[in-house]
Chains A and B, each alone.
Chain A
């Protein structure tokens, strides 16, 4: 049914497309190539997801060397799920990209932009499927290095400093990650995640293993912008070119969350490890802080991009919270939220991209009344915003529901209170956005604009419709997440 080589080909083809893009030296050809490759990867990842759900995990030995001697690609439900998320956003961002990139990136840099984009896509696609802890680092660095460059392409000069700070923080995070892997390697002698999973849970009493988990958590915490390691994120997202913001905000931090889940649960056996070292409670604490601090900061922003960036920090808090709850519903909440938040943030940033493309500003005061000339964009903002808050019948509601259940299952009612509080704060900042769209008469400048060009709008609407459709039958994704969470927790016992 599927080619045995599929797991590797969907990583290698984007990788090969990047140098081809450099040779082509043409922005349009680069875009077309990126569109085709990401589209192909999206279709392939969907097929892979169906295959994995029906027939169990797939393993692929690169170079024909059996693991743990060679590098293994291992795709289970969770990795296929994250893969589909990244590929979907990557593909839709490319549909969206052409006009937006033309507007924001100099024409002679266009092909280099798409090269970088493909490299970043490759890196982010490589992380979920790899079954090797060090290979994960290599792909993490491919994606990070290309995102630094992509962010620096923003038109504001602050994009440069944002990229530089991200580079410093990201490299520190990667070095911490390498250090953690080194500690773990020292006492186990293996780098294969499945092989580690068989050994590490029996070694939880060894102090080296405990510190390895601590360093891996901090390293990935830097990459996923968990409070208080989040300082690089707001400016990076605010000043990057819009397409980059759409893609990175929707995928980069989510992939880091995936890596953290993979490490904490698959590699360290989750609850077995937490019993010795209460890193779950630490994660719950920082998750909650992230939720509140991010939301509070978002409330005060006037630039929509920055507002959404702070909202991202808050939403990452939800995922980390679910991860730290360490029970089936909590973890399922985190898994669903990886997908939810990717979709929601992609919608909102795409909508902002449309607004910037037409109005030329992302300041709340400049875009008042944009619902009148841009009704479709505004409707998408409403759907995305409501989902962000977690209103019933939206994707966000599924997450919040699972998380609340998870918190109550552990008898942490105060966690539930904080979740509700953060949602109310989300309502405040989303309301500011909706109010700006509908409750003000458009200024002359705003009234004169039209909807964004068709491809941009198409990507935006397609995403919005997809979230609505998926939310209508929320049990589909909810059940999938619960099954995945059970697998993750089961592997530790």
Chain B
């Protein structure tokens, strides 16, 4: 029942997106959609995925969306094509094909479906004995299908470098303060002449405004960082792992940058350092694989890393999760810093 209600919320959100013209609302709706999907996944027992989607789809994606709206200085779509006949036909045909394809599928939650009887049972039955990790998602992700995860880390690395290539140079025209650009765009009523002083905070007001946020934010940053480390270390026992930890770690820096400005955050995490750690994570991951080869195993075979295979697996999983965490955190921070402001080290 709760599945259906969550799915219905998602349908409503998605349909709303078709009609919305306000792009800020589009970004927020997309975040809501992701968060609802994450809730649905918790209900369906996929907690790791839910965790990731909540931090990425509802968190990072929304921040990136808002940042790019500020940079493109647009708030409204010019016009919405709600009905677009060719697109509608394509979509209906595709949807009909998919529904036709579902007709022979096993029902929702059927325990005898092939995917529950063919490959998966081994993971559920033997993974603890083979890898020593109770979280099956972590053991499959990091060990059995560890090469996919290396690919995934590479994709994030690619995105980080790609954004550096595209925007790292600084911009060709000065960007207005994103908040002003987003808030002061068309569609907002101009302030009445007499109310200027009241509505727009002066310098002292600005400071007070920031003081509350800064105190609140400062209080939050250490727990966020702590939580990131907890997620990183606890990924073998519960939901979490390098990817989620990296995103959370980066979000602490993003918060810091929002409160104290990008240059201050940049001072903590300079561009060159980030670029190094971005590369380092991938190298750690791929290097663990090479170490396996040098010690006489196959690539990404962690069993040979220690005297005892299970011990080796645990060691390998901790190391590669660390690699994933480092690359993801650096990539997210790089992407945010590049979006949020010019990269001074790139301009010179």
Take A142-B158, A145-B155 as given contacts and tell me if A69 and B119 are in contact as well, using a CB distance cutoff of 8 Å.
Answer: yes
Do the beta carbons of A115 and B152 come within 8 Å of each other? no
Do the beta carbons of B278 and A22 come within 8 Å of each other? yes
Q: Which residue of B lies closest to A134 (CB)?
A: B148
- Candidates A63, A153, A187, A210; contact of B147 at CB < 8 Å: A63
Compute how far the CA of A133 lies from the CA of B144 in the bound complex, rounded to whole angstroms: 15
Select the residue from A5, A68, A113, A206 with max chain B CB neighbours within 10 A. Answer: A5
Do the beta carbons of B161 and A115 come within 8 Å of each other? yes
Select the residue from B101, B106, B165 with max chain A CB neighbours within 10 A. Answer: B101
Annotate B160-196 by CB proximity to A: 1 below 8 A, 0 otherwise. Answer: 0110111011000000000000000000000000000
Do the beta carbons of A18 and B157 come within 8 Å of each other? yes
Compute how far the CA of A149 lies from the CA of B158 in the bound complex, rounded to whole angstroms: 9
- Candidates B106, B147, B275, B297; contact of A71 at CB < 8 Å: B147
Q: Which residue of A lies closest to B303 (CB)?
A: A64
Q: Classify the interface of chain A: helix, strand, loop or mixed.
A: helix
Select the residue from B152, B161, B282, B302 with max chain A CB neighbours within 10 A. Answer: B161
Which of A8-16, A94-102, A368-376, A430-438 lines the interface with chain B? Answer: A8-16
Q: Which residue of A lies closest to B313 (CB)?
A: A63
Chain B residues contacting A183 (CB-CB under 8 Å) are 101, 105
Which residues of chain B from 94 to 144 have a CB within 8 Å of any chain A CB?
Answer: 97-98, 100-106, 113-120, 122-123, 143-144
Take A62-B147, A153-B165 as given contacts and tell me if A12 and B101 are in contact as well, using a CB distance cutoff of 8 Å.
Answer: no
Which of B24-32, B252-260, B283-291 lines the interface with chain A? Answer: B283-291
Do the beta carbons of B283 and A19 come within 8 Å of each other? yes
Do the beta carbons of B166 and A149 come within 8 Å of each other? yes
Q: Which residue of B lies closest to A16 (CB)?
A: B286
Do the beta carbons of B146 and A138 come within 8 Å of each other? no
Do the beta carbons of A149 and B298 come within 8 Å of each other? no
Q: Is A237 an interface residue (CB 8 A)?
A: no
Take A12-B289, A71-B147, A135-B147 as given contacts and tell me if A20 and B279 are in contact as well, using a CB distance cutoff of 8 Å.
Answer: yes
Q: Is B49 an interface residue (CB 8 A)?
A: no
Q: How large is the interface on A (under 10, 10 to 19, 20 to 34, 35 or more residues)?
A: 35 or more
Do the beta carbons of A190 and B118 come within 8 Å of each other? yes
Chain B residues contacting A214 (CB-CB under 8 Å) are 97, 101
Q: Which residue of A lies closest to B287 (CB)?
A: A16
Select the residue from A65, A153, A206 with max chain B CB neighbours within 10 A. Answer: A65
Compute how far the CA of A69 lies from the CA of B118 in the bound complex, rounded to whole angstroms: 10
Which residues of chain A from 394 to 411 have a CB within 8 Å of any chain B CB?
Answer: none
**Nearest chain B CB to A443's CB is how many angstroms away?**
34
Chain B residues contacting A454 (CB-CB under 8 Å) are none
Take A112-B161, A149-B165, A214-B97 as given contacts and tell me if A15 and B105 are in contact as well, using a CB distance cutoff of 8 Å.
Answer: no
Q: Is B154 an interface residue (CB 8 A)?
A: yes
Q: Is B346 an interface residue (CB 8 A)?
A: yes
Q: Is A139 an interface residue (CB 8 A)?
A: yes
Chain A residues contacting B118 (CB-CB under 8 Å) are 68, 188-190
Q: Is A70 an interface residue (CB 8 A)?
A: yes
Annotate A15-48 by CB proximity to B: 1 below 8 A, 0 otherwise. Answer: 1101110110100000000000000000000000
Q: Is B151 an interface residue (CB 8 A)?
A: yes
Q: Which residue of A lies closest to B146 (CB)?
A: A63
Chain A residues contacting B346 (CB-CB under 8 Å) are 108
Select the residue from B276, B283, B299 with max chain A CB neighbours within 10 A. Answer: B299
Chain A residues contacting B154 (CB-CB under 8 Å) are 15, 18, 119, 122, 142
Q: Is B300 an interface residue (CB 8 A)?
A: yes
Do the beta carbons of B275 and A22 come within 8 Å of each other? yes
Compute how far the CA of A208 lies from the CA of B113 in the bound complex, rounded to whole angstroms: 13
Given A22-B276, A138-B148, A210-B101, 20 other A-B residues pairs in contact with their CB atoms under 8 A: A8-B299, A15-B286, A19-B278, A61-B298, A63-B299, A65-B144, A68-B119, A71-B144, A71-B146, A109-B165, A113-B165, A134-B148, A145-B162, A187-B105, A187-B114, A188-B114, A190-B119, A191-B119, A207-B101, A211-B97
Sample of 15 A–B contacts (CB below 8 Å): A5-B298, A8-B298, A19-B282, A22-B279, A23-B279, A60-B298, A60-B299, A62-B298, A69-B119, A69-B144, A142-B155, A145-B158, A145-B162, A188-B118, A215-B97
B residues near A, CB below 8 A?
97-98, 100-106, 113-120, 122-123, 143-148, 150-152, 154-155, 157-159, 161-162, 164-166, 168-169, 275-276, 278-280, 282-283, 286-287, 289-290, 293, 297-303, 346
Q: Which 4 A-B pairs have the closest CB atoms?
A: A211-B101, A189-B118, A19-B279, A138-B151
